[in-house]
Each structure stands twice: as C-alpha cells, then as structure tokens.
Amino acid sequence: MKFNTKTIHAGVHADEATGAVMTPIYQTSTYKQTAPGEHKGFEYSRTQNPTRAQLEASIAALENAKFGLCFASGMAAIDAVAKLLKPGEEIVATNDLYGGTYRIFTKIFEPLGIRTRFVDMADLDETRSAINRNTRLLWTETPTNPLMKIIDIEACSAIAKENGLLLCVDNTFASPYLQQPMSQGADIVMHSVTKYINGHSDVVMGALALNDPELNERLAFIQNSCGAVPGPQDSFLTLRGIKTLHLRMQRHSENGRVIAEYLKAHPKVDKVYWPGFEDHPNHEVAKRQMKDFGGMISFTLKGDRMEDSVKLISSTKLFTLAESLGGVESLCGHPASMTHASIPKEERMKAGLSDSLIRLSVGIEDAEDLIADLEQAIG
C-alpha cells in the first residue's frame, strides 16, 4: 500500500458494532466481562482503548513498523524509552536536540544513575568515540532541533549493531511522510504526535513505533504501568489529522523551500539552516534518506543581535510567536528563550545554537502572504 493510501486506510477499520466509517470515540474507562478475565480484548482504558488501539496501528503502518504505542505527550514517550535502561547504563545523544529531551536526560535520569553523553552525531567518529561498555542506547533527532542537521540513520544503525545498542530516532521534524527510520535500521522511532502527525495544534501526544516483539512487550508494560496514555478524544482527533498528513506535508515542504530561498537571498539575513540547500553540510544524506526537506527552517540576522531577533518575531502577523511546530498555521520562535531554555547557555553555544537564532515552522498558508509577513517584520 502506498503512503498516501496508508494515511486514509492503514490500521483503521469500520466499527464492528455500527459500521461507522470513522473510528468512534470510546469514552469509557472500563469494559464488561462475561466472567473474570473473559472479555473482548479490552478491560481497562489505561491498558487498552479501542480508539487508541486503531491510532497505534495507524502510526505503526505509517512507519513501516509492526507495533505502535501512544503516550500522553512526546516527553512521556521519551521517558518510556529511557526507562529501558538501568542505573549505571548510558545514552549517547545528539548535542543539537529539543530542550525537553536534554532536560529529562540530565535532570530526571542522570540523578537516577543513567548518564547521557551529548555529541555531534553528524560526526560518526565522534559518535563512536562516545560509546563505552556502559552505553545501551543511541538517541538521535534528524533533522535536528533547531539547527537542522541531518544525521545518517543507516550509519548510526550500523554503529548501534556493531556495539549491541538500541537506536532510537526522533522523527518529529520529518514525519513519516518525509522519512521512515525503521526502513533505515532504527530500532525505535519516536514522535511528538503533537506536531506534524496531528497537524492542527489541538492535541498533545507522543508515540513510539518498533518491530521487535520483546521490546514492544517491555515498552507496553511501561506504558501501562506508568499510565501516561492519551485519552480517546485526542486519539480520535489524531486519527482525523493523519488522513491529511500527506497533503499537509507536501504543502509544508513546498512553502518551506520558498521561504528558505527568500531568506537566503535577503540582504539582512545571515545564516539559513535548511537541509534542502546544496551547500548544507548534510544535504547529500538528506537527499538519500528523506523524500523532501520539510517546512522547518532556522536563521540568524546579520549582526547576530538577540534584540533584533526578538523584535522580528514579535512583529510578525501570520507567523504566530508560540511554542511547538508542525501545525497548519505558521509559527515562529526563539529557541534560546523558549524551546531550548532548559539547556545551559554554554552547552547551547557549544552546539552552535546562538542567542539570536530564530526558528520557523512554515505552515500551509499561501507562500506569498508568508513572505510579505516576513518582509514587513524584517524591515
């Protein structure tokens, strides 16, 4: 089944009780049993819910995976993966990553004895050098947040297999439409479903996709035991959002290209971070492992002054100044004070994230209107 057809049909089916084409919202906490332990596959909605089950099947299909697990947020999904490790074991993670991921690894799991080493995972030699006998997990984002580095998933998979490690890829910025890490050797794919998969800025949710039955059993046990699961209403909204994922991602990518080229040609703009440019250091990797280059762009202004960046993002009219990304509407943000504020400044600077960096999530509006908005804001 082709991807565009999967978004409409894969993992979902008409309701057996009524024939409803759209998956119903099973707004129930518990289910009738005919005898103790005898039921129709559902017993308590923290453990299983029919609406969530169809969503999990749909996400697994989109990622070419056998199993899908949904969580109350992207952070809950990350938390579940980190709980696979024991005290004394270590994670090697990319140093350009979402601030919340950095925070949970350093502030929650490091005090529990699970250390994370942050490296530039676009540099495979640096990645190898960070691995030691305690390493159990490679954690990467690609494209990275917010510098849009592209990390070679197949190469990282080879490194993981050489060392007996799990490879988890945060695929949030690409979505399954642009990139499918399972097909390139990832063991686990993570999504903040809040972003492109749902696509309408009305749900907070996370997901994992994977193939290994034993690993799925371990993660499902964590999901059920810790209870960070999404409700049926959010599952329904996400199932609805998935049906237009392919159409939205096509427009995000088209608009992203137009905006990136506009910014690159602007006399007041300094650096533009977007993997579709031929001079992007990881462009060839992006061409190989992505279908297109997406709608996420970061840039700096000439002079590299934080006050100029803050003035710009406070002056836009169509680009809404807000946290998050991946919705149909365009958003802009200041990573150093918003999404990445939990990363110490010295660590941000070491990774190349300056205080003046602006991040755009280019929506599906008319590209000419978006350019006009940036033009008046840049001045």
For residues 377 and 37, give the distance between their C-alpha atoms in angstroms, rounded to a whole number.
Answer: 62
Phi and psi at 44, nearest 5°, equal -155, 135
344 phi-psi bin (left φ>0, alpha ψ -120 to 50, beta other): beta
Radius of gyration of the chain from its Cα atoms, rounded to whole angstroms: 21
Identify the CA nearest to 325 among candidates 94, 102, 170.
170
- Strand runs labelled E in 274-326: 296-301, 320-321
| Terminal alpha carbon distance of the chain | 48
Q: Is 303 exposed, middle or buried (0-12, 13-18, 19+ CB in 10 A)?
A: exposed
Write out the two tokens for 369. Answer: 């209107």
For residues 230 and 218, give the distance between their C-alpha atoms in angstroms, rounded to a whole number.
Answer: 19
Identify the CA nearest to 295 among candidates 256, 333, 262.
256
> Which stretches within the chain are classed as H helix?
3-9, 50-62, 74-82, 99-103, 124-130, 153-162, 175-178, 213-226, 232-242, 245-265, 283-289, 306-313, 345-351, 367-378
Task: Write down the residue that tokens 């596959």 correspond to.
Answer: 41
Side-by-side strand order, sheet with 358-361: 269-273, 296-301, 358-361, 331-333, 320-321
Query: DSSP letter at 259?
Result: H
Phi and psi at 141, nearest 5°, equal -115, 145
- Catalytic machinery residues: 46, 98, 170, 195
Is residue 195 within 8 Å of residue 145, measured between CB atoms? no
